[in-house]
Structure 1
């Protein structure tokens, strides 16, 4: 049996440009309002450095991990442990790779959505669309649409073949 595994990170240049600009602004403000960067007892310096580095560290640490195997489709958005999702094949009504518009359909990238329509995506505009038997829609962004499509097709075919035996 084939397995599909993918690990993605945010790689939009504009995100890093915004974070870099914010970092520069915060560092300049700290530098002007303290004795350079030498006054380590100043809470403004410590808070400013934390405010500047934590968002950058979070974005660099964030990963979208997807696994498709004989059990189903698993996805997790690290470092958010509560983001784990598992879709067993027997609960999936439809599954296919499609092009989508992250901004118009989901409001951007990341963990998005409301109600029965949710998405986990890190970049790009291609995703694995899952529709469950209870009509919930879930989209997982992918940078490897061909590989994902082939593995999904393999398991969907096996499930359809097995269900026709009974």
Structure 2
């Protein structure tokens, strides 16, 4: 168990692809003292990148004048790292949020792959918990990764 707890991070980033590197670096630095390791950081960073890209593309339609709020939170009592992305773009369509979390995809048959919604599937597969809330023009996607201090990565059942 680590005695030192990282301070919460709040960043406001322009909704442009170049901000992905800043978001990724902030997550890496924030998570460094936590018992997450590369095995936990890589999928969380992948989910963050996918979600941020979705905001830029689908939420804002590549409007570079918009912004994305990135918040990094560590909950030591619950041993969880939370990444929150807040934007004021178009919300995620309810139909995409309700789709089966494990789409029936045949990796050898490209016809079985859907045109949209794959990003959310990858995000869900990369984190332990995903929550989404849209109200009064503000959309917040919360990505959660549970930490397992003192445990070797291969001992964790189901990641």
TM-score normalised by structure 1 residue count: 0.24
Higher fraction of helix: 1
TM-score normalised by structure 2 residue count: 0.25
Largest Rg, 1 or 2: 1
Higher fraction of strand: 1
